[in-house]
Structure formats: C-alpha cells, structure tokens
Amino acid sequence: MHEFQHVVSGDTAAGTLKAALQLEPGDLVVMRDDLSVGPLADVEQPPFPIRSAFWRRVLGPEGTLFAAPQDVDQLGETAAAFANLPADPRPAVVWTGTGANEQLTLRRVASLLSQGTRPLWVIEVLPEDQKPLPQHWRSGVGVLNEVELRRILPRRRLIDDKERQSLALEWRRLQVENSTETMCRSIAGKIETQPIASHDADIVAAANKDWQRTVKVVGHVMGHAEDHISDIFIFWRLRERAWACWSWTCRKSRCGRVASAASPRSRRSVSGTRARSRECGCRRRCRPPACNR
C-alpha cells in the first residue's frame, strides 16, 4: 500500500501512473467522466438521470450505453470511488494539469474532503513539462510518461484549509451553473462556464467545401484547441452542425421528397465516417443540396 492515495483523470493517465509508482488497486482513484462538458448537478446522485441523458445525446447511435440503470456502471463506479475518499486515512494527492476536466476533478475532491481532516495534496503538471508541445496548450497528466511522472512527484503541494474551502465552493457553484447547454474552460486558474457550442465556429472553419473524412475535421479542431477536448465531444458537435444545416433531396424527380435533417434516417447518414449520398424515405438515392447556412 502506497503512503498516498492518488486521484487522476482518465484511464491513460491512470495506467501510466500505476506503472510509474507501482500502485495497487486501492492506491488509485480514477475519474472516468469528462466533467468539463454538460450538467454536473446529479454527478454524485445515482442513477444520474440528467447526466446519463446528456451522454446519450452526445454519443448518438452509441447512446444506448446509458439507456438503463445497469448500463451506467462507469458513472456509478466513479461516484462510489469518490464518495469513499473521506474514509481512507491516508493523505490524498490529486494529479492535475491546467485543463478544465482535471481542474474540476481537483475541485470535486476538495468538496468531498471539505468537512474532514484528511490531508489533501496536489501535483500540478506545468506546460513546460510536456515539451515539445506548445506552452499555450493546457497541460495534462496523460501527456507524461512514467519517468516524467516520477520526476515531478516531489513537487507535490499541500492544500491548506482556506484553499480547500475555496475549491469546494467553486465546485458547488459550477454544479448549479452547468447544464446540458454549457461546458467549462480553465482560464488563469479559474473555471468559467461557456455555451456548449463554443467550438462550433472552429468546426465550421475546419470543414471546407470539399468532401472529407470527419476524423480529419475532428483532429484539426482538437489539435488547435487550447484546452483538452475529447474526440467524442467534437464528433457530437459536428453531427449537431450537420443535422442543423443539411437536408437531403431525392435525385428522382418523381419523388421530390426532402429528408428532414431531424429524421432518424438522415441522422444516421451524417454520423458515419464520411459525408456522402444516402437514401431518403422512398429508398431512392439522394444527394445533399448546397448548404445555405
């Protein structure tokens, strides 16, 4: 058993940290949710009806993952692990970068430990730790390898009661502020709430008039974003823009139908690996007209 209980965001960072410090299962608590997007009000209240509904919306055709209470195991396991934090007598140490999700994880832990005496430490990954990535990018624990994680371990800093209470209050504020139409961004050590469509303009700019694979657009937006945003989130926003913008008209003049952008058939057509011709309700080949937005 390690002298600290470590808290980290994401399976990638967790796997590297576990190998770097030879941690046992009880030594590591993993945040397996992206707290930077969507509602936070019921993130600690199983079966998470609001948050699971949000993820069904984001995942689209794969949203059945959160269709029933027994299928929200990932949210439930995370909530249970975090709820048990006050019971462990060891000092807790949160590994965090400057991105919104990891900063929110720190605030969630501070809130859970705000009423106890358990020591709370933090290890911060700085932009200069993740060379050769640009320093204006938000730093993240998952970027570092095992040697680099061991190197910054002595950097841990004890959070005093005043800072702990401040972080806890910020978490509770964000739980109230954030909804299905908001996301968080980390700016100068503070978390700000922004519209969920904050990256839509970047997505539209990356999608030119030529047909191209959606992964190329998603990769471009992720690569040029200052904060850490997931590919799942950008794929969803790309689908949202497509559904709002496109309609599908039948090539056969005798049909004359337009498949609504909101219809299940046309939604499936823009959620694939590339934009291409599909069928309308009459099962004839269709083509997209020029977008007028």
Same domain for 75 and 114? yes
Residue 173 and residue 130: Cα distance in Å, rounded?
31
Mean pLDDT of 11-39: 95
Give 144's pLDDT tier (boundaries 50, 70, 90): very high
Q: At what angle do helices 100-112 and 161-177 cross, to 10 degrees?
A: 110
Same domain for 211 and 95? no
Q: Is residue 9 part of a domain?
A: yes
Residue 62 and residue 77: Cα distance in Å, rounded?
20
| pLDDT 10s digits, 274-286 | 433 343 444 444 4
Contacts of residues 249-255 at CB distance under 8 Å and 24 or more positions apart, as own/partner, are 249/280, 249/286, 249/287, 249/288, 249/289, 250/280, 250/282, 250/284, 250/285, 250/286, 251/284, 251/285, 251/286, 251/287, 252/282, 252/284, 252/285, 255/280, 255/282, 255/284
Give 60's pLDDT tier (boundaries 50, 70, 90): confident
Q: Is residue 57 part of a domain?
A: yes
Same domain for 258 and 167? no
State both tokens at 80. Answer: 């249970």
Contact 94, 120 (CB under 8 A): yes
Q: Is residue 184 part of a domain?
A: no
Residue 237 and residue 223: Cα distance in Å, rounded?
16
- Over 90: is that where the pLDDT of 128 sits? no
Same domain for 153 and 266? no
Same domain for 124 and 258? no
Q: Is residue 181 part of a domain?
A: no
Contact 109, 13 (CB under 8 A): no
Cis peptide before 47 (omega within 30 of 0): yes
Residue 192 and residue 93: Cα distance in Å, rounded?
24
Mean pLDDT of the chain: 81
Mean pLDDT of 82-103: 95
Q: In 10 A of CB 274, how many CB atoms?
A: 11
Same domain for 115 and 215? no
- Over 80: is that where the pLDDT of 74 sits? yes
Mean pLDDT of 152-162: 96
Please report, rounded to a whole number, the percentage of residues in the chain having pLDDT higher than 90. 53
Same domain for 104 and 10? yes
Q: In 10 A of CB 267, how many CB atoms?
A: 17
Mean pLDDT of 245-269: 42
Please report, rounded to a whole number, the percentage of residues in the chain having pLDDT higher than 70. 77
pTM: 0.81
Same domain for 105 and 53? yes
Q: In what order do the strands lie in the sheet with 258-259?
A: 258-259, 248-250, 286-287
Q: Is residue 193 part of a domain?
A: no
Same domain for 153 and 254? no
Q: In 10 A of CB 148, how many CB atoms?
A: 16
Same domain for 29 and 159? yes
Strand pairing class (182-187; 28-31): unpaired
Q: Is residue 293 part of a domain?
A: no
Domain boundary among 117, 141, 176: 176
Report H helices in the chain.
Answer: 11-21, 49-59, 73-83, 100-112, 146-152, 161-177, 200-206, 214-224, 231-245, 264-270
Q: In what order do the strands lie in the sheet with 157-158?
A: 28-31, 5-9, 92-96, 120-124, 157-158
Ranges 64-68, 94-98, 99-103: which has the least confidence: 64-68
Same domain for 207 and 141? no
Domain containing 154: what range? 5-176
Q: Is residue 188 part of a domain?
A: no
Same domain for 52 and 169? yes
Q: Is residue 206 part of a domain?
A: yes
- Structural domain tally of the chain? 2
Q: What is the CATH number of the domain that holds 34?
A: 3.40.1360.10
